[in-house]
Amino acid sequence: MTAQDLSMTDEELLDSLNLVVDGKLTRAAVLLFHRKPEKWFGGAYVKIGFFGDGPDLQYQDEIYGSLFIQADRVVELIYLKYFKARISYDGLIRVERYPIPKDAMREAVYNALMHSNYSSGVPIQIRIHENEVLISNDCIFPANWTAETLMQRHRSEQYNPKIANAFFRAGYVEAWGRGIENMCKLCKDYGVKTEYTVHPGDVMLAFFAKQETTATQSATQSTTQSTTQSTQKYLPIEIKLMHYLVANPRATQGQIAKYLGMNLNTTKYYLNKLGKLEVPAIKHEGTTRKGSWMVLIDLENL
């Protein structure tokens, strides 16, 4: 925003952002500026949970307020409370390295806030593990968009254009649809893998933090993570899932989700991830209702 924008009255500012229609505030105005938008939109807040190396929730926070307040507080809270920085020294200068670059996390959080389907009543959820972060939100994509579309260059198409415009005018994002491209480049340069999973009514973004290779951490990981002959590493929740599939090869996704204590979309994410690794760990044969699961790795050596 320009200095002239900041000198406007509240009414003039809202009108310049097209947030007033026939003298009444739009839904976007309430979400952007009201301190309690959840009074009208039940899911207009962010849930953050830390799960460590397993499926059990260890601690959590819920962030309320206007979308601008959430945008600032969510990112800061993640880096103050949920992430641990590895400290090194460049001469006399202390260097802190977090699992995920902060600018990339900002972009991911801003995207979720801007493009969520707030009519669903489901909050944005950020699930944090030791070396993995999952950000999911309900949304409605343009027709024929896929995860590949998101990862490629694409024109900017907003589900909530007035919210996106306000974030742009406030300097949070750009307007050219390059945010995801920039985020992925930042992560690649940092050694972090990103992956989108798109469902009909929601999207999940996964960050896979770079594994450190110090002797101390390797010793710790030997009890919490394992590798196959191809050096693939699995989270404890993934190992638990595969053991369940061995014992219950005809289990439905709903039964697997109930066993793991997860929602269905998160369960689908892990099933999809294990099936699409460089060396696939699981495989589903047959139809959705009458098919069966096969575990393709030796769990005894994990």
For the chain, domain boundaries: 12-209, 237-295
Contacting residues for 49 by C-beta, under 8 A, at least 6 apart: 57, 58, 59, 60, 125, 126, 127, 128
Name the CATH code of domain 237-295 (choices 1.10.8.60, 3.20.20.80, 1.10.10.10, 1.20.1340.10): 1.10.10.10
Question: In the structure encoding, which two tokens stand for residue 277, read together?
Answer: 């690794």
* Spatial distance between the Cα atoms of 209 and 100, rounded to a whole number of angstroms: 6
Local confidence pLDDT in tens for the 302 residues of the chain: 566 766 788 888 899 899 999 999 999 999 999 999 999 999 999 999 999 777 788 999 999 999 999 999 999 999 989 998 888 888 878 888 899 999 999 999 999 999 999 999 999 999 999 889 999 999 887 666 666 666 666 566 678 999 999 999 888 987 666 788 889 999 999 999 999 888 878 899 999 987 653 333 333 334 333 444 345 788 889 999 999 999 888 899 999 999 998 888 899 999 999 988 888 899 988 877 778 899 988 887 76
If you classify domain 12-209 with CATH, what class do you get? alpha beta
Rg (CA), the chain: 21
Picking from 302, 16, 282, the residue whose alpha carbon sits closest to that of residue 162 is 16
